[in-house]
Chains A and B, each alone.
Chain A
């Protein structure tokens, strides 16, 4: 059974169509990356799934329960909004305790769970301080802790690491990664490196429609653009080499960055053979030569750019 099933979801704000028949499914236990440019409909989708917003049309199911029709959904999901808001007059400990009470967690389990989550969020010492004095990163970590409070089956995260410093981001991502298999994680983000690091399945949406939904590796392979890179010792003749490579039939694009030459090609086999020969013939000392593995960022930008072109035509 899919943990999340979305069929033909539509939502408009005035004349702006935020979701335009979005359809996608997420397998149970997956760490799912939900990508899209700003205004693509990511947050709207999450808000509809949590029941905070209502869809104009279409249906969605969470853990087999239809959104908007089952009162049991909030007990099964954990939700972290993009900008988690807490009552500033509450301490971190009181906030988690209140959320535990809402989920019906009784003492002494409640006290134990609050302590456990404060430790997990790295807020044990700050737990007795009022949330009003927390930094944005601390609030984000407290937000993640509250989303996990009842061990949800489905975790909905809206930009979970966007407010964190590199160390905090690493911790949070490790934490999310550790949830693989325990619950389904549906994570919206614009930080492609985060998705690349922890998500096993990726969906890209644009203008409220699903562009692609596939396992991360399959996506990268499918949309991979063959690229070769070489690094040389000395930069003098690199510009000449770049000019020469640009003339080749197998070249699509050439980029020079200090001692590194990156070539996008259309015939990988020929390019692999010819590029090194040209470099040696130009008298360059090649220190590094590789076929560049495309990043999710390349794939994302390409897919979104293709979509834009299609819409314009």
Chain B
């Protein structure tokens, strides 16, 4: 496992994935409170926007947190799918998996090292984004509870984990990177459709994000332990399915 992980981590750095994740996250970590603060000013600057700006309530810390969650989830999801769709399928297609797996390297270690390395990149990006986002929110609005802010970012990592694990499964099922990407997008669409049902949404990523926002803002709300359990269960199920399928697969 250590050798496989070392290889994956080197790949994260050499192929600039780590750099891209960090740049995107830190950029949106910084920009989210800025956008929340200056959106009315931006609208005012647009011809005819002054009237619209008048009806927009003055921005608050709630807007900063909402903007942060919105930006991070959107771009984090795109990164999870883009970086995950070739994880296994590309290696099968190019023949590098065959070179590695004809050696005494356990297939479970080979496949699990991939989401772990990607997770480390996401964690690094999230730490930078969290620091940047917290600092600018403090500067432009007010201090947020540190524990709640950390919990928000932790729950965002779980959110990315769900989509990264589903993308890994899509990549394991296919040999073509494009088909893997399409299947992963299919998973995202299905999950989004299921979340439209209120009872299901509460138990999926939607419930997780609502809880995350409350925690960051220090609002006493109902904890979404159920959503957390279901999301962690989805991650575990997708990873287990990927491993079981890959162990029997022809390379």
A, B in one complex = yes
Q: Is the CB of B105 within 8 A of A102?
A: yes
**How many angstroms between the C-alpha atoms of A89 and B250 in the bound complex?**
25
Nearest CB of A to B99, in Å: 6
- Of chain A, the residue at the smallest CB distance from B15 is A89
**Chain B residues with CB below 8 A from A87, complex form:** 7, 11, 96
Cβ-based interface call for B10 (8 A)? yes
Of the candidate stretches A30-38, A77-85, A171-179, A262-270, the one touching chain B is: A77-85
Cβ-based interface call for B220 (8 A)? no
Interface magnitude class on chain B: 20 to 34
Cβ-based interface call for B42 (8 A)? no
Q: Name the interface residues of A167-188: CB closer than 8 Å to any CB of B.
A: none
Q: Is the CB of B6 within 8 A of A101?
A: yes
**How many angstroms between the C-alpha atoms of A103 and B102 in the bound complex?**
11
Nearest CB of A to B180, in Å: 18
Q: Is the CB of A102 within 8 A of B102?
A: no
Write out, one digit per residue, whether chain B residues 101-145 have a CB within 8 A of any chain A CB (1) or not (0).
Answer: 111110000000000000000000000000000000000000000
Cβ-based interface call for B193 (8 A)? no
- Of chain B, the residue at the smallest CB distance from A83 is B95
**Chain A residues with CB below 8 A from B95, complex form:** 81, 83-85
Q: Which of B96, B99, B100, B101 has the most CB of A within 10 A?
A: B99
**How many angstroms between the C-alpha atoms of A155 and B250 in the bound complex?**
21
**How many angstroms between the C-alpha atoms of A143 and B100 in the bound complex?**
12
Write out, one digit per residue, whether chain A residues 143-160 have a CB within 8 A of any chain B CB (1) or not (0).
Answer: 100100000000000000
Q: Is the CB of B96 within 8 A of A101?
A: no
Q: Is the CB of A52 within 8 A of B103?
A: no
- Of chain A, the residue at the smallest CB distance from B4 is A102
- Number of A interface residues, CB 8 Å? 28
Q: Which of B14, B15, B102 has the most CB of A within 10 A?
A: B102
Nearest CB of B to A89, in Å: 4
- Of chain B, the residue at the smallest CB distance from A77 is B102
Q: Is the CB of A74 within 8 A of B104?
A: yes
Cβ-based interface call for A50 (8 A)? yes
Q: Is the CB of B102 within 8 A of A90?
A: no
Cβ-based interface call for A75 (8 A)? yes
Q: Is the CB of B3 within 8 A of A86?
A: no
Q: Is the CB of A102 within 8 A of B251?
A: no
**Chain A residues with CB below 8 A from B7, complex form:** 87, 98
**How many angstroms between the C-alpha atoms of A98 and B8 in the bound complex?**
11
Cβ-based interface call for B244 (8 A)? no
**How many angstroms between the C-alpha atoms of A81 and B14 in the bound complex?**
25
Q: Out of A75, A81, A84, A146, which one reaches B104, CB within 8 Å?
A: A75
Q: Is the CB of B250 within 8 A of A53?
A: yes
**Chain B residues with CB below 8 A from A98, complex form:** 3, 6-7
Q: Is the CB of B103 within 8 A of A85?
A: no
Q: Which of A54, A83, A85 has the most CB of B within 10 A?
A: A85
Cβ-based interface call for A122 (8 A)? no
Write out, one digit per residue, whether chain B residues 6-22 have a CB within 8 A of any chain A CB (1) or not (0).
Answer: 11001100110000000
Q: Is the CB of A90 within 8 A of B99?
A: no
Q: Name the interface residues of A31-86: CB closer than 8 Å to any CB of B.
A: 47, 50-54, 71, 74-75, 77, 79, 81, 83-86
Q: Out of B94, B104, B250, which one reaches A85, CB within 8 Å?
A: B94
**How many angstroms between the C-alpha atoms of A284 and B103 in the bound complex?**
64
Q: Is the CB of B103 within 8 A of A81?
A: no
Q: A90-B10, A94-B10 are in contact. Are A52 and B100 (CB under 8 A)?
A: no
Q: Is the CB of A74 within 8 A of B98?
A: no
Q: Out of B6, B15, B99, which one reaches A86, CB within 8 Å?
A: B99
Q: Which of A54, A89, A102 has the most CB of B within 10 A?
A: A102
Nearest CB of A to B47, in Å: 49
**How many angstroms between the C-alpha atoms of A83 and B94 in the bound complex?**
10
Cβ-based interface call for A223 (8 A)? no
Cβ-based interface call for A289 (8 A)? no
CB-based closest 10 A-B pairs = A85-B95, A89-B14, A79-B102, A74-B104, A101-B3, A52-B251, A50-B102, A75-B104, A53-B250, A102-B103
Besides A47-B98, A51-B101, 5 new A-B residue pairs in contact (Cβ under 8 A), listed by A number: A50-B98, A75-B104, A77-B102, A104-B104, A143-B99
